[in-house]
A and B are shown apart, each in its own frame.
Chain A
Amino acid sequence: MDKTINITLKVWRQRGPKERGAFESYKLDGISTDSSFLEMLDILNEKLINEGKEPVVFDHDCREGICGMCSLYVNGHPHGPDDSITTCQLHMRRFKDGETITVEPWRSAGFPVIRDLMVDRTAFDKIIQAGGYTSINVGGAQDANAILIPKEAADEAMDSASCIGCGACVAACKNGSAMLFVSAKVSQLALLPQGRAEAARRAKAMTARMDELGFGNCTNTGACEAECPKNVSISNIARLNREFLKAKFRD
């Protein structure tokens, strides 16, 4: 037999970006502890639809922790109380019978609420766009070993590249700063020889776009790193600072 729990959900409901939101409570009985958090929300929405009420709007896509689409601030943590996973990988076994679970959207000036738990994260796309292109050689295929990359650099670049751009860092930061995201995106290219050609331009352009979009300044609290579902390190932020200052002083 499946183990089931009864829970109370406190969910943020907001009809639109300009309207005032408020919490609403819903009781859900007999939720299997094997179901995922988002499946639980699906059950809630089905119940709401059957009752003729508006379902709760929330972001989700791949449901396997790689697309970066799911968000949710669950019980005081972006992506819930579990470490190193996204909301879609969170399971109901993490919660106790009779528990009240608070579900909020990301809250940051850079991520305005669209509706209920869905926020507008296009600011991240704009920062990525500002990053621009990387130069590659065209013509005949290059020999795979023509550019040597040390193992450490490759590993670290891969760690930086594991950022899925979900925005948990901004949600966790008391300053609403996007530095962890931007620094991961700058680092994944700056660490590799192929990315060095435009490294200075990229660091300047992405930082400028980030500032323009109203994200805050980094005060090195490390909350982003602690809440990041992909464990992206704040040593990336030091690298972004270094790349940016180097580029500016060279000008």
Chain B
Amino acid sequence: MSWLLKSSIGRKFIMALSGCCLVLFLLFHMCMNVVSIISIEAYEAICGFLGTNWYAVLATGGLALLFIVHILYALSLTLKNKKARGNDSYAMSSSLSSVTWTSKNMFVLGVVVLVFLLLHLYDFWFKMMFAELFNLHDIVVLPEEVGGHMAMLFGSPVKVALYFIGIVALWLHLTHGVWSMFQSTGLNGRTWYPRLKCIGNIVATIICLGFLIVPIFFLAKHFLCGAC
């Protein structure tokens, strides 16, 4: 199976596969988040259900591995591509309307998403699962306190703005990433090319709208009805 690591198509296959798993995770994460708008009690129950159970810890480990694979491969592919491009750049290059900006800047967008991910991990995962596992009592947020924690966090417009930037970067990353994984795994063709592009945009938009609505909801709640 060394071809997966050595050949260009093998490496792209791993990018596509890890990307696909991450998209599925994002869909699940987004659905879970939307619950917090409908009922904060239900959301706290979900957090309690996941909590620090063995399966949640195991899944977190698997997820971390997926992220690491996706990032390391992105790094190695980008470096290889830069080398293949050579040192001389064109004196004059013009942009093509059919080539999207996102497709040429997936690595930059990925870095923005990664920075956002670290911030987000610090805001939630570090204070919830990590603190609970390692008994950091002074910072821990228990599942039943998560509603209050979110209201406090997203009451700050700066935080919401940061989340907004991160989620927009994620949207741009996904608009190229989702259809691209079908192309890289060979599940694309003449007929499905425009369809997959459309489906990719829809999936990216659904995921990101679902993510965006939560901080905006809590911010609006904070400003519109203050203490309630």
Contact = CB atoms under 8 A, between A and B. Distances in A.
B193 A235 contact: yes
A189 to B, nearest CB: 16
Nearest to A238: B188
B100 to A, nearest CB: 8
Contacts of B98: 222, 225-226
Interface string A99-133: 00010100111100000000000000000000000
A175 interface: yes
A104 B91 contact: yes
B99 A241 contact: no
B9 A245 contact: yes
Interface residues of A, number: 53
Interface in B77-103: 77, 80-81, 83-86, 88-94, 96, 98-100, 103
A173 B96 CA distance: 12
Nearest to A107: B88
B39 interface: no
Given A77-B94, A177-B81, A227-B96, A238 B86 contact: no
A234 to B, nearest CB: 7
B185 interface: yes
Contacts of B89: 107
Interface residues of B, number: 43
B9 A244 contact: yes
A176 B183 contact: no
A245 B185 CA distance: 8
A54 interface: no
Contacts of A235: 188-190, 193
Given A211-B6, A234-B183, A238-B188, A217 B83 contact: no
Contacts of A39: none
Contacts of B176: 220
A177 B103 contact: no
B92 A102 contact: yes
A37 interface: no
Contacts of B135: none
B84 A177 contact: yes
Given A109-B86, A216-B84, A219-B103, A248 B189 contact: no
Interface in A63-117: 73, 75-77, 81, 102, 104, 107-110
Contact of A241 (B6, B103, B184): B184
Interface of B: 3, 6-13, 77, 80-81, 83-86, 88-94, 96, 98-100, 103-104, 106, 176, 179-180, 182-190, 193
29 contacts: A76-B92, A77-B94, A104-B92, A173-B85, A174-B85, A176-B85, A210-B8, A211-B8, A215-B8, A216-B81, A216-B85, A217-B12, A217-B84, A218-B8, A219-B77, A221-B104, A222-B99, A223-B99, A234-B193, A235-B190, A238-B183, A238-B193, A241-B12, A241-B13, A241-B186, A245-B9, A245-B13, A245-B186, A246-B186
